[in-house]
Structure 1
């Protein structure tokens, strides 16, 4: 009788012990969005403070959060944070590159097209949030509205529409800040301190 060697597969469970990257991404997005839209609402001029936030916190921190979401096998989070991080970097580039003489400044039509594309992307991502919590749904809904309002403001040259977009963007940004900080507090206290819905 032949000796049969039987190999049994060992099930190895990979326990993910890495931190939740979503608060970093939400805070990078939210705080930068609030500051830019304070400018859009007319509270202060566009300056280095907003550009620096756009590069480092809105841009690089969100891309880092997106890469961390990818490692956690979260396609939605990876796509959202990496994309919006790139949004902030491209927005800063659109503002700074013409000042450096490297290219011409975008006209109103091209800026409107840029904002509409981001609005469409955000609207589709909003559909994805219908499987998530209410806080995230509100962030994406208000963000889609913001992009479309800003596009209309660019196309029409109507400062009132841009100002309204600014106030709406402040709301959007604070919703993201809330969603990010709520996750941090809920995790720290191991209970719902700040509801996400």
Structure 2
């Protein structure tokens, strides 16, 4: 008896633009605060929970379903980063634990910087747009950690500028993926890495 095989094609949508937008828009808003434009308010915290946090975790699960290990790790991790940051900021206000010291925050942000550096190496075979997002994000985390450990407001302001650039590049990459797919041509270039023969 001859065996029969069924081939299943994945026709689900690309979830990455949603994750990039959630990450990018939340990052821009937080770093507008870091440059001193406005105070840390419930607006940023809400974005951290909903769009930066939950949306990216959902995207990470969708990337897992598509077999994308990099996307799974990246989106789920950064979604949980945003959720953990909001928890760190709000628990002390609820009387649940002490606020972290600058040294503790420096270690927290520094570890995320090291994680992002590792993820940056994972972008080398993707495209230049994604490389720019992860490269600037690595610099952002390390600057924020330095600003916390030194108490130097200038470093935090510079980190804010880097963060706005990083978040904007993620928004650009998200829009590029949507528009290029929608119009079936390169509307916004992401500069794919060309494979050597």
TM-score band, normalised by shorter chain: over 0.9
The whole-number CA distance in structure 2 between the counterparts of 1:87 and 1:126 is 17
For 2:77, the equivalent position in structure 1 comes to: 83
Q: Which residue of 2 aligns with 1:171?
A: 165
Q: Which residue of 1 aligns with 2:38?
A: 44
Spell out the pairing of 1:18-97 with structure 2 (5 A cutoff): 18-97=12-91
Cα distance in 1 for partners of 2:154, 2:147 equals 8
Match of residue 181 from structure 1 = 175
Residue from 116, 121, 124 that aligns with 1:127? 121
Per the TM alignment, residue 11 of structure 1 is displaced from its structure 2 partner at its CA by 2.5
Q: TM-score, normalised by structure 1?
A: 0.96
User: How do residues 143-158 of structure 1 correspond to structure 2 at under 5 angstroms?
Assistant: 143-158=137-152
Q: What 5-or-longer segments of structure 1 have no aligned partner? A: 1-5
1:59-112 deviation digits (Å, cap 9, x = unpaired): 000000000000000000000000000000000001000001011000011100
Q: Taking structure 2 as the reference length, what is the TM-score of the superposition? A: 0.96
Structure 2 unmatched runs, 5+ = 192-197
Q: Which runs of 4+ in 1 moved over 4 A?
A: none
Distance, in Å, in 1 between the alignment partners of 2:130 and 2:173 is 7
1:12-23 matched pairs, under 5 angstroms: 12-23=6-17
SS of the residue corresponding to residue 163 of structure 1 reads helix
Query: What's the offset of the Cα at 1:13?
Result: 1.3
Q: Does 1:140 align with 2:134?
A: yes
